[in-house]
Amino acid sequence: MRHRDLGLVLQQIRYQNRIFWRSPVSAFFTIAFPLMFLVLFTALFGNDEIGSLGVTTAQFYAPALAVFGAASATYTNLSITTAISRDEGILKKIRGTPLPPSVYIAGRVGSAVWIALIAVIIMMTIGSVVYGVEIRGSTFAAAALSFVVGAAAFAALGLMVAALVPNGDSAPAVAQATLLPTAFVSDVFIVTEDTPAWMEALGNIFPLKHFVAAFGDAFNPTLGGSGFAWSGSENEYAIGLHLAVMAAWGIGAAIIAVRYFKWDPQGHRRGSRRRAGRAGANS
């Protein structure tokens, strides 16, 4: 990417960030919603050690919910806002300007990843300061790499959803109907080691569980190793396999997004049809 294009990408990131923070609903579900779960779970279960894991409630839930917030920023928000922008004709207008389409998309993705990083930092900071979550320096690099790969994969998945849904009205339903159920089998809300084997096996198929494992295990003081290994033993932290699964999902999603992404509106949203109906009735 040329230096000029990089500058344009940074401008787009700043612009998309301003749009995000002007939407209280988006900010709530990305930043505050996971924090509410952390407070709720520690209040309900206490901050005692979880027997099957050997870590406290907050030590388990803070990284998992940080990943959930990152996925919400890169997957849910990106898919919904991109689909709505297409419906409103914004993408079509952008396509007709001198701004390279790749720069615009990179700006959207960069903004989503930046917001995901903010969500993770806020969650882990509050977890550490309020609930005593241990931040391990020896695994920090592996956790950072896991975040980058995971955020990129979910951004690609978000663009894939935006490319496949018919309009912006259907994007929230598709995004939430795919993210929330997988969270229940991905060690976000419940420990899958304590669930039937089929639930644990089902979670292993999807990228969210691998994102949670790669990032969350970095904060598990019972595990040894720096994380930079393909797969570890029961007591060793390793991210290689998890990164491979996330990368496979991300690459597949990116290919589909490039193939089916549409810049022109594909149909009227319900609100547009209602306005059109009222206009016809008044004419």
Number of domains in the chain: 1
164-218 per-position pLDDT tens digit: 999 999 999 999 999 999 999 999 998 877 778 888 899 999 999 999 999 999 9
C-alpha closest to that of 88 among 145, 169, 193: 169
Nearest-angstrom CA–CA distance, 92 and 99: 12
Q: Is the dihedral of CA 102, 260, 161, 148 positive or negative?
A: negative
231-252 per-position pLDDT tens digit: 877 789 999 999 999 999 999 9
Given pLDDT bands bounded at 50, 70 and 90, which one contains residue 65?
Answer: very high
Q: Which domain holds residue 248?
A: 3-282
Q: List for the chain the helix, strand, coil content (%; round to 5).
A: 75, 5, 20
